[in-house]
């Protein structure tokens, strides 16, 4: 235990920079996944059959390929096609695309939870399509979307460790390097696990509270 | 004010409105009655553009219903729904003010004050801040009527406004509607409340299988129907056993 504490004091500052990169790559991937996820979801509920078909194909394809392979694709294959990306950007894009299909499912569930009668009511009041989206569909859908969105975000946070495989210097990668050079596997990986928990547990707790709050309404 | 000329409408292969023609004058109260599935809701939905008719012509306040005129027509014709359809994430007052603020572009403070006045008018002055889930069916429907009135419509379409209500809540909603009728509001009401129709409506249209099979002054049609199908229907509604 003493050993662990002295190691912790020594290693934590080094791991902190990795933690920062983990948070950064997670947030960047989150933004990408939300934007793309919204696009897939809106295409999926569109009146246009073509758009619906594209959305379905994209979602099934992305869901069917392991995230690590998607990251390799972005980082190793795209350069061969002339698109050179720095590791961090490749990680954010790869994770963002991979997670966009889960976000799309969260949004789809939210949209389809909105009573079509309420949309008709808004139409009968003369509301524009845009206002209906902003004032009726979005606020109602978000109650259904937010709890699974929280869970997806926690999963994304953990899966950001996969970016270590393409040399993104995030928490897991920083830990690996540290473990290799110090041989303190136990201390290093325990610290890393604790750091992930320090982020994911509060998030999980928050999601649970949101869920209960919406359930009451 | 509202006129239909040879309006028809099909869903797929089934024609649900066949050659419907009638005219509603300003200030008139007309009840649409008839068996389930006869097309009553579809008529109201067509007038409001929620459903597109495939033949004939609908004219509201001088303009022919179409893609272009729809927004203007919706501003003139409000709708009240069987299942109230209040926005669950907004208070009673916000529900009423939603249209004025976000469709008519009125100032928020002004619209909210007016919403309060309208809620007072339907006897819900104390429920301004209540969310729909906290209101009884009768109260929700009165908010629904206040929401329709907030658009300052020239006519209101009611689709079975009391049939989702507990029997002891029906009266409070009919009372509000009767007041509106007395004040001269143009109203088209789909209803199974024959007593209400007899007392409040100027005219009754009886529908069956997509056609208007009988129409005339409310008292006449409802007390001495000329058409056999109307007679059978009324008999069944008035003497369910
Ligand atoms: N969106 C739709 N798609 C297919 N058929 C429909 C649709 N809406 C209504 N119908 C059919 O059209 C016919 C008329 O329906 P409508 O709702 O106008 O009847 P109604 O007179 O209002 O009946 P109720 O008293 O049950 O409300 C019914 O046979 C119904 O099944
Ligand atoms: Mg109906």
Q: What is the ipTM of this complex?
A: 0.92
Query: Average of pLDDT values for B29-54?
Result: 94
Give B-chain residues touching A131 at CB under 8 angstroms. 102-103
- Mean pLDDT across chain B: 94
Give the gap in angstroms from C-alpha B155 to the nearest C-alpha of chain A.
13
Give the gap in angstroms from C-alpha A30 to the nearest C-alpha of chain B.
27
CB atoms within 5 A of ion ligand 2 belong to B 41
Give the gap in angstroms from C-alpha A110 to the nearest C-alpha of chain B.
15
User: H or E stretch including B157?
Assistant: strand B155-159
Helices (runs of H) and strands (runs of E) counted in chain B: 9, 10
Residues in contact with ligand 1 (CB, 6 Å cut-off): B 11, 16, 34, 36-42
Nearest to B102 among A118, A127, A143 (CB): A127
User: How many Cα atoms occupy the beta-carbon half-sphere of A204 within 13 Å?
Assistant: 11
Residue B118 has pLDDT above 90, yes or no: yes
How far apart are alpha carbons B98 and B106 in whole angstroms?
Answer: 10
For position B237, what pLDDT does the model report? 85
Q: Does A117 touch chain B (CB under 8 A)?
A: yes
Residue of A nearest to B69 (CA): A126
Q: Which residues of B touch A (CB under 8 A)?
A: 48-50, 71, 74-75, 78-79, 81, 83, 85, 87-89, 98-99, 102-103, 131, 133, 147, 151
Q: Distance of CA A138 to CAs A119, A132, A143, B237, Å?
A: 11, 8, 9, 42
For position B165, what pLDDT does the model report? 92
Q: Distance of CA B88 to CAs A109, B6, B13, B18, B94, Å?
A: 18, 38, 36, 37, 10
Share of chain B above pLDDT 70, in %: 100
Give A-chain residues touching B79 at CB under 8 angstroms. 121, 124
Tally of CB atoms within 10 A around A92: 26
Tokens 């110090």 correspond to: A182
How far apart are alpha carbons B146 and B86 in whole angstroms?
Answer: 11
Tally of CB atoms within 10 A around B72: 14
Residue of B1, B26, B8, B44 lying closest to B159 (CA atoms): B44
For position A162, what pLDDT does the model report? 95
Residue closest by Cα to atom 26 of ligand 1: B36
Tens-level pLDDT at each residue, chain A (217 residues): 778 888 888 889 889 999 999 999 999 999 999 999 999 999 998 889 999 999 999 999 999 999 999 999 999 999 999 988 999 999 999 999 999 999 999 999 999 999 999 999 999 999 999 999 999 999 999 888 988 999 999 999 999 999 999 989 999 999 999 999 999 899 999 999 999 999 999 999 988 888 788 766 5
How far apart are alpha carbons B102 and B7 in whole angstroms?
Answer: 32
For position A7, what pLDDT does the model report? 85
Residue B25 has pLDDT above 70, yes or no: yes
For position A16, what pLDDT does the model report? 92
Residue of B39, B36, B32, B34 lying closest to B14 (CA atoms): B39
Residue of A99, A102, A28 lying closest to A67 (CA atoms): A99
Query: What is the pTM for the complete model shown?
Result: 0.85
Q: Phi and psi dihedrals of A131, rounded to 5?
A: -65, -35
How far apart are alpha carbons A8 and A1 in whole angstroms?
Answer: 10
For position A122, what pLDDT does the model report? 96
For position A217, what pLDDT does the model report? 55
Q: Does A136 touch chain B (CB under 8 A)?
A: yes
Tally of CB atoms within 10 A around A199: 17
- Do residue A139 and residue B89 have CB atoms under 8 angstroms apart? yes
Residue B86 has pLDDT above 80, yes or no: yes
Sheet with B14-24: strands ordered across: B14-24, B2-11, B55-60, B63-64
Give A-chain residues touching B188 at CB under 8 angstroms. none
- Do residue B103 and residue A131 have CB atoms under 8 angstroms apart? yes
């Amino acid at each position: 235990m003493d050993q662990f504490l002295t190691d912790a004091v020594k290693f934590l500052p080094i791991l902190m920079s990795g933690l920062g990169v983990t948070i950064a790559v997670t947030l960047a991937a989150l933004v990408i996944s939300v934007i793309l996820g919204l696009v897939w979801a809106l295409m999926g509920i569109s009146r246009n059959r073509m758009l619906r078909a594209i959305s379905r194909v994209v979602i099934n394809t992305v869901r069917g390929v392991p995230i690590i392979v998607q990251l390799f694709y972005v980082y190793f294959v795209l350069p061969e096609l002339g698109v050179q990306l720095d590791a961090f950007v490749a990680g954010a894009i790869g994770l963002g695309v991979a997670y966009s299909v889960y976000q799309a499912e969260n949004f789809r569930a939210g949209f389809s939870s909105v009573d079509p009668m309420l949309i008709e009511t808004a139409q009968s009041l003369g509301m524009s399509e845009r206002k209906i989206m902003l004032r009726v569909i979005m606020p109602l859908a978000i109650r259904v979307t937010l709890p699974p969105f929280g869970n997806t975000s926690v999963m994304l946070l953990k899966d950001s460790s996969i970016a270590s495989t393409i040399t993104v210097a995030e928490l897991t990668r920083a830990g690996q390097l540290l473990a290799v050079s110090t041989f303190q596997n136990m201390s290093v990986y325990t610290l890393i696990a604790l750091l992930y928990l320090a982020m994911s547990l509060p998030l999980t707790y928050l999601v649970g509270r949101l869920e209960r709050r919406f359930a009451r309404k | 004010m509202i006129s239909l000329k040879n309006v028809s409408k099909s869903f797929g292969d089934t024609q649900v409105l066949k050659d419907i023609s009638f005219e509603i004058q300003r200030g008139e109260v007309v009840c649409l009655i008839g068996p389930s599935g006869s097309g009553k809701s579809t008529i109201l939905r067509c007038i409001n553009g929620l459903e597109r008719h495939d033949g004939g012509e609908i004219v509201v306040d001088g303009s022919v219903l179409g893609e272009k005129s729809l927004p203007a027509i919706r501003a003139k014709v409000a709708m009240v729904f069987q299942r109230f359809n209040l926005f669950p994430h907004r208070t009673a007052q916000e529900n009423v003010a939603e249209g004025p603020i976000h469709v008519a572009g009125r100032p928020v403070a002004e619209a909210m004050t007016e919403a309060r006045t309208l809620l007072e008018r339907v006897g819900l002055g104390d429920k301004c801040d209540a969310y729909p889930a906290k209101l009884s069916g009768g109260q929700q429907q009165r908010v629904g009527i206040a929401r329709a009135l907030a658009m300052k419509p020239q006519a209101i379409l009611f689709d079975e406004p009391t049939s989702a209500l507990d029997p002891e809540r029906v009266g409070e909603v009919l009372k509000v509607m009767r007041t509106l009728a007395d004040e001269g509001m143009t109203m088209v009401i789909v209803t199974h409340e024959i007593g209400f129709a007899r007392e409040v409506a100027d005219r009754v249209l009886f529908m069956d299988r997509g056609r208007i099979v009988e129409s005339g002054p409310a008292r006449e049609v409802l007390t001495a129907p000329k058409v056999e199908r109307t007679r059978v229907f009324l008999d069944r509604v008035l003497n369910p056993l």
